[in-house]
Amino acid sequence: MEERGGCAGGFRKDTVDRLLRLHFRDGRTRVNADAQLLMAELLKVFVRAAARAARQAQAEDLNKVDTEQLEKVLPQLLLDF
Amino acid sequence: MAAAPPRPAPRAGREAPGREIVRAAMAAAGGEQQQQMLTQRLKAAVHYTVGCLCQEVEEDKDVQFSKQSIAAISEITFRQCEIFAKDLEMFARHAKRTTVTTEDVKLLARRSSSLLKYITQKSEELASSNMEQKEKKRKKSSAAKGERTPGEQEAAMTENEDSNMA
């Protein structure tokens, strides 16, 4: 397996498509290619925002982020999206 | 008084599994199990990518995410996708379309101005890279129709020179 110093830094286009189609109410609803790519970007931003916000919630001098920190930032995160 | 013929009691061990198999097959055919498997696979895919993105933040900010926090972010992301999907479907339907477009995605990002700016920018980058692709295709097809590009003309000339050196 090729080591790229990490893994793919984002969501795969077809994963995004399947994720969305999983919750569509109408079987005919589709997502066009550009919208899939754009949603992948949006989800990437969402995850990064959650991760970074949790980091900032650390008032103490710890370097470990746990669910406690995540709970503090969750309301604002969901309001922003 | 006629006595009803005694019914043979169902043989435990032989018949019961048969019924189970039929029931399972029917459920699978109904798509229920497939749906659950798909959900599991998608959750796993999300978890993997979330792990990657958190790893990036870890390296960037010199912190460590607990496994639970990564799992929590992953779960939140998965659930948020349901909200996104339903909104997108409604936006498209409102515009009398069955296909979700980038315009619908931009509407999703409306709540935060910085987010909207970022997504709009990405959308423009996508549009301009699409234009480039179309330009390339147009040039290729016109070249195939007989118009030689400078590179091809040079190759043709070299061929002629070689044949003269026979």
Question: Could you give the 3-state DSSP secondary structure of residue A5?
Answer: coil
One-letter amino acid at B44 equals A
Both tokens of A79, joined, read 């309001």
pLDDT at residue A74 is higher than 50: yes
Closest chain A C-alpha to B24 CA, distance in angstroms = 22
**Each residue of B39-96: pLDDT tens digit?**
999 999 999 999 999 999 888 888 899 999 999 999 999 999 999 999 999 999 999 9
Q: What is the pLDDT of residue B148?
A: 52
The model's confidence at residue A4, banded by pLDDT at 50, 70 and 90, is very low
The percent of residues above 90 in pLDDT, for chain B, comes to 56
pLDDT at residue B31 is higher than 80: no
The model's confidence at residue B10, banded by pLDDT at 50, 70 and 90, is low
pLDDT at residue B163 is higher than 60: no
The model's confidence at residue A81, banded by pLDDT at 50, 70 and 90, is confident
Contacts by residues B109-118 (CB-CB < 8 Å, ≥ 24 positions apart): B109/A42, B109/A81, B111/A79, B111/A80, B111/A81, B112/A80, B112/A81, B115/A45, B115/A80, B115/A81, B118/A45
**Each residue of B104-136: pLDDT tens digit?**
999 999 999 999 999 999 999 999 999 999 999
**Each residue of A18-61: pLDDT tens digit?**
999 999 999 999 999 999 999 999 999 999 999 987 777 776 56
Closest chain A C-alpha to B75 CA, distance in angstroms = 11
One-letter amino acid at A7 equals C
The model's confidence at residue A2, banded by pLDDT at 50, 70 and 90, is very low
Closest chain B C-alpha to A13 CA, distance in angstroms = 12
Question: Which residue among B45, B54, B119 places its CB closest to the CB of A15?
Answer: B45
Both tokens of A59, joined, read 């008032």
Both tokens of A19, joined, read 């994720």
Q: What is the pLDDT of residue B166?
A: 46
Q: Can you give chain B as a three-state secondary structure string?
A: CCCCCCCCCCCCCCHHHHHHHHHHHHHHHCCHHHHHHHHHHHHHHHHHHHHHHHHHHHHHHCCEECHHHHHHHHHHHHHHHHHHHHHHHHHHHHCCCCEECHHHHHHHHHHCHHHHHHHHHHHHHHHHHHHHHHHHHHHHHHHHCCCCCHHHHHHHHHHHHHHHCC
Rounded to whole angstroms, the Cα distance separating B149 from B130 reads: 23
- Asked if the C-beta of B67 comes within 8 angstroms of chain A's C-beta atoms, the answer is no
Q: What is the pLDDT of residue A31?
A: 97
Output Rg (C-alpha) for chain B, integer angstroms: 31
Beta bridge pairs of residue A65: B65
Q: Are B100 and B91 in contact (CB under 8 A)?
A: yes
Chain B environment of A8 (Cβ under 8 Å)? 49, 52
Q: What is the pLDDT of residue B17?
A: 74
Q: Can you give B83-114 as a three-state secondary structure string?
A: HHHHHHHHHHHHCCCCEECHHHHHHHHHHCHH
One-letter amino acid at A78 equals L
Q: What is the pLDDT of residue B63?
A: 86
- The number of angstroms, rounded, from the C-alpha of A78 to the middle of its chain's C-alpha atoms is 12
